[in-house]
Amino acid sequence: MISRVLMIATVSLTLSTGVGAEGKGPNGGIVVKAEDHPIEFVFNDREIVFYIDDHDGKPMPIKGLTARAVVQAGGKTRTIALSPAEPNRFVGQIEAPLGANARVVFSTVIHRHPLQARFVTPR
């Protein structure tokens, strides 16, 4: 009975977040869909980049928007302020390269709606 309740709660939570895995994006990063917006996460040794697309897959104008990323890696949690970069990118600097299984949560507000996407770096 308890496992059934946990399974239902997990499915409900997953469906309510509006986030779904998509795979690999055009820039070589990890893509998830959040509230029908494809968000691609690309990272290198010192930089994280998020590409935001509109519902129809076209680049989302981000001028004037703010965003942040919360990164959990190496036993530490850091909040990274992201800067908008035309046409549809948010860019942030990181102190060290992300290792395998780092957790990254991207957050912004678009058209007065909060948008959040969760990523885990590959092994």
Range(s) of the domain holding residue 101: 19-120
Determine, yes or no, domain membership for 68.
Answer: yes
pTM of the model: 0.82
- The one-letter code for the residue type at 10 is T
DSSP state, residue 65: -
Domain of 46, CATH number, reads 2.60.40
Determine, yes or no, domain membership for 12.
Answer: no
Cis status of the peptide bond prior to 87, with omega within 30 of 0: yes
The structure tokens listed for 6 are 């946990």
pLDDT at residue number 22: 62
Q: Are strands 30-34 and 76-85 parallel, antiparallel or unpaired?
A: unpaired
Helices and strands per DSSP (H, E), number in the chain: 1, 9
User: How many folded domains does the chain comprise?
Assistant: 1
Q: pLDDT 10s per residue in the chain (123 long)?
A: 454 433 333 333 333 344 555 689 999 999 999 999 999 999 999 999 999 999 998 999 999 999 999 999 999 999 999 999 999 999 999 999 999 999 999 999 998 999 999 999 998
pLDDT at residue number 19: 53
Three-state SS for 15?
A: helix
Determine, yes or no, domain membership for 10.
Answer: no
In Å, how far are 11, 71, 94, 121 from 77, measured between CA atoms? 27, 6, 12, 15
CA 117/CA 41 separation, integer angstroms? 9
CB within 8 A of 49, min separation 6: which ones?
A: 27, 29, 41, 42, 43, 89, 90, 91, 92
pLDDT at residue number 44: 95
